[in-house]
Structure 1
Amino acid sequence: MLRTIEMYTNEYKDTTKKEIRKKKGQFFTPAEVSMRMAAVENKYPKNQLIRVLDPGAGNGILSFAVIDKLLRSGYKWLDITLIETDTEILPVLEYTITKIRQICESYHAECTIHYIDQNFVLWESSRLYDIVICNPPYMKVRKDSIEATAMKAYVYGQPNLYGLFMAKAVELLRDNGQYIFITPRSWTSGKYFTKVRSFLQKELNIKEIDLFSSRDEVFQGEKVLQETMILYGEKGQIQDEQIKINILKDGTLDTGNSFWAAADQIKFKGSEQYLLLPENENDLKIIDIMSDMTDSFESSGYHFKTGPVVEFRNLDHIHKIYQTGDIPMYRSIHIQNGTLQFPADTQKAQYVSTDEESLLIPKQNTILVRRLSTKEDLKRIQACKYFADENTDLNTEFMTVENHVNYLTRKDGMEMTRNEIDQLFDILMSDMYERYIRLINGSTQINAGELNKLPLQRIERSINS
């Protein structure tokens, strides 16, 4: 039956442009993933009413999967609430609801189905649920949107709907209720999910995590840039001592590797409360090494900043061809294989006029780090060294950096020495740091804030003189 639901969903996808579905934050759960997510624990008495909530129902495939699992496990008294506002997917959802009724009848089970056509974030429920299972919409909303306003306790910066769904779902669970969510990994470390993580730290007992070994494994053909995870938990303020990590193989949903990690080793670590996502025992060793470092780049007096030049806001100041008095603007294309290559063979702007002071950066030694890497890049950290005395072609006292590049400074304003740059660069480009950044960041983007929080063994002051 899941295959049939998937077939009708594919017909909907064929008649709906990918851009429209992406604008809705709509990525449908495949049948195999739905079955895995629906493997809920059989911990309730068989004569108990089980209430299930699917707050991002979409085509209803998760609802069918979990009801099917409960029926096969002997439960006869079920109540399920499906919430969906997209009228274009409604025909598929209605078909799924009909099939849920039919399968309940075949098991001689009493099943009450509630379809809610309301915004889940704004929806008010008088009930609490035993199970929440969800593939939420993945889309950013404005800080002054009705959703962000309604969930302001969980908003930090620009919110994403899926983070708000995660928080509200916990609110609607009974104590010890089961929590199953498939999401991008960005919430585990992203700055804008800080308050969501803080809430989950207090209210969710994480039991198990599924990690996919390929970024394209789950939503095939959708060009998803972020790695995906499934989170299994229970509502409760007492965390189990260990969390099970499952690494799912390419091409299948078979567990390629499973191991246990101590909860206090990976759950919401450091001042940013990151959830670390190791993929093997060696990753746990790296986490231990990094956790033993008491300093970070930031606490050691360094500060990564994001380049000040946002192109569309500065069209009057940027140039593709050098004009008298211009300064160089370093962008991602100039960072190639650990070296700075300027100018580049590109049709994009590489020069900036000096008439806008806010764009000017004093010409000093630094490290440039791309904010975005590509799927094809072997290393997530793409960086290069910049030495002021080696970049004298334009003979200026300033340079600047485009907004997709981070650059390193010292908080005290002093210029970093060559030796200092060499050591910091070697640290950043080491295999251990490359692996650690992947543990805390499942996307191809590295923000300045994440770089500043990276652990750092304090460098000897003698190299700073």
Structure 2
Amino acid sequence: MTIIRTSNKPIGQRNRESLGQFFTPSHVADLMASWVDPLPERITLLDAGAGTGTLIAALVRRICRMPGVTKQLRVTAFEIDPSLAQPLAVCMASCQRMCESSGISFSADIRQVDFIATAAPIARGDLFAESLPSFNVALVNPPYRKIRSDSAERLHLRSAGIETSNLYAGFLALIIRLLAPGGQLVSITPRSFCNGPYFRPFRDDLLDRMAIRRIHVFDSRSAVFEQDDVLQETIIMDAVKSAEPCATIRISSSTGAPESAVHERKLPHNAIIRSTGADRFIHIPADDADLLAREWMGRLPATLHDLGLVVSTGRVVDFRARPFLRDEPTNGTVPLIYPHHIRRAMIDWPRDGMRKPQAIVRCRETADLLIPSGVYVLVKRFTAKEERRRLVAALYDPTRIPYQEIGFENHLNYIHAHGRGLPPALARGLTLFFNSTWADHCFRAFSGHTQVNAADLRAFRYPDREALERIGRAASMGELSQVEIDAIVMEIANE
């Protein structure tokens, strides 16, 4: 039997960033190929971002280990990067030899063209669009890259009724349209499409057209694409083209390292696909603690809107306001608060040794960047890749920083009462709630990226106002251990 060896080493490094390429490790490709189930007798396979052929080779290895099940494999492989043409062709030749030795008919159509430009006319039903087979299997690791609203890719997608700001979601949306009814899709992508406003159109499209059968999460961000700087969590999704959802969805996890153990559970559809008003989210609990946290969170009665509160993103984008920034406070300046100023749930300003500017000039040009002094709850928008917590909150107390106005930098969310500060007890209670272990567990299950978006905080659930004020009155800020915070929050929130 021929052994197929594929390279997932970067080829043409300088093109990778512009193309959004991240190559699939062989052991991950084998896991994805194992999810094509059942194996059709005749497979018409689409790989819309084939790279060096790793996913196709993994499926060939699988079908050749199961003689007599699949009799024909017909591959259509798109790869726009010319530096990958030769290794992809070599891989397809190896796949053909391996299939022939197992009595399986194999053919490969390698297309060195833009997948989106080719598939969008087919999706919109153009009379003279190129012809492609009706695919019953799609394996894909699509490119991950933001696309501008005026880019050629965005315009092609929009012409097919697809609205998204990232290439990977555009690829998936087109692949779904090219699948035959009952066709299987197995993809590896960032988890970011599971929630948030930017991916809502894609999420609706996916859930209307596909039935998710299985999702795999990786415990470590770095293990899957260890040679790449992948900030977001990555998931594998298995779905079939059907408007009828699966009654249960299998959730599995592993470290992502080769031969790592896979832990799996089955959960009801409505435990994973959740609705909040007109929006739908895909919630992926990592473990029993996440399930318990989410069950608890589901019993909480309020949203920020119910509490009469609003969340906004800090107005000061430092590189745009650079002429008005000062390293240290001087006459005519007001505090500029960064995430670096958060320390033990309070704001430590000014800080010694701070490398960021700590003040902003108060003038006509900066008037729209400043907010009136008051009590606010600040939440970090970004956390480090492997940071222990996702939710990190702090209380801004104007009695400690006596200025009439302040500036919050853009990497912070701030919670306010329609432009004004919060009552102190409510603000303290909300800060402690955010910093509880249970809230953090639930947010991690809810959100699959290191960003804490304002939209996520709006969709989150909270104790009612009275309970939050009682939490705030129960203890002073900055003096509690994690165990004490969790005990206070759980005791009062569960009453």
User: What TM-score does the superposition give when structure 2 sets the normalisation length?
Assistant: 0.86
- Alignment match, 1:265: 271
* Offset of residue 107 of structure 1: 2.1
Matched, 1:351 2:383: no
Helix, strand or coil at the partner of 1:399: strand
- Alignment match, 1:5: 6
Q: Identify the match of residue 66 of structure 1 among 39, 53, 59.
A: 59
Q: Identify the match of residue 163 of structure 2 among 140, 155, 172.
A: 155
* Offset of residue 417 of structure 1: 1.3
Q: 1:385 to 1:45 in 2, by over 3 A?
A: closer
- Alignment match, 2:226: 220
Matched, 1:209 2:219: no
Q: Identify the match of residue 91 of structure 1 among 68, 86, 111.
A: 86
Helix, strand or coil at the partner of 2:280: coil
* Offset of residue 32 of structure 1: 0.5
Structure 2, unmatched stretches of 5+, are 120-130, 471-495
Matched, 1:39 2:45: no
Matched, 1:110 2:105: yes
> Is residue 201–residue 268 contact of structure 1 (8 Å, CA) maintained in 2?
no
- Alignment match, 2:425: 419
* Offset of residue 250 of structure 1: 5.7
Q: 1:129 to 1:116 in 2, by over 3 A?
A: same
> Is residue 53–residue 91 contact of structure 2 (8 Å, CA) maintained in 1?
yes
Q: 1:463 to 1:287 in 2, by over 3 A?
A: closer
What letter corresponds to residue 53 of structure 1 in structure 2?
A: L
* Offset of residue 168 of structure 1: 1.2
> Is residue 362–residue 397 contact of structure 1 (8 Å, CA) maintained in 2?
yes
* Offset of residue 329 of structure 1: 0.5
State the distance in 1 between where 2:245 and 2:468 align: 45
What letter corresponds to residue 18 of structure 2 in structure 1?
A: K
- Alignment match, 1:329: 336
What letter corresponds to residue 422 of structure 1 in structure 2?
A: R
1:330-386 deviation per Cα after TM superposition (whole angstroms, max 9, x unaligned): 011111232211112223211111112111111110011111111353211122101
Matched, 1:301 2:308: yes
Matched, 1:341 2:341: no
What letter corresponds to residue 349 of structure 1 in structure 2?
A: P
Helix, strand or coil at the partner of 2:116: coil
- Alignment match, 1:398: 405
> Is residue 4–residue 91 contact of structure 2 (8 Å, CA) maintained in 1?
no
State the distance in 2 between where 1:449 and 1:106 align: 54
Helix, strand or coil at the partner of 1:50: strand
Helix, strand or coil at the partner of 2:296: helix
User: What TM-score does the superposition give when structure 1 sets the normalisation length?
Assistant: 0.91
* Offset of residue 150 of structure 1: 2.0
* Offset of residue 44 of structure 1: 5.5
What letter corresponds to residue 5 of structure 2 in structure 1?
A: T
Q: How many residues were matched structurally? A: 450
What letter corresponds to residue 137 of structure 2 in structure 1?
A: I
- Alignment match, 2:204: 198
Q: Sequence identity, in percent?
A: 28
> Is residue 368–residue 405 contact of structure 1 (8 Å, CA) maintained in 2?
yes
Runs in 1 of length 4+ with deviation above 4 angstroms? 461-464
Matched, 1:232 2:238: yes
State the distance in 1 between where 2:198 and 2:3 align: 35
Helix, strand or coil at the partner of 2:311: strand
State the distance in 2 between where 1:54 and 1:126 align: 12
What letter corresponds to residue 449 of structure 1 in structure 2?
A: A
> Is residue 315–residue 408 contact of structure 2 (8 Å, CA) maintained in 1?
yes
Give RMSD over aligned pairs. 2.1
Helix, strand or coil at the partner of 1:283: helix
- Alignment match, 2:318: 311
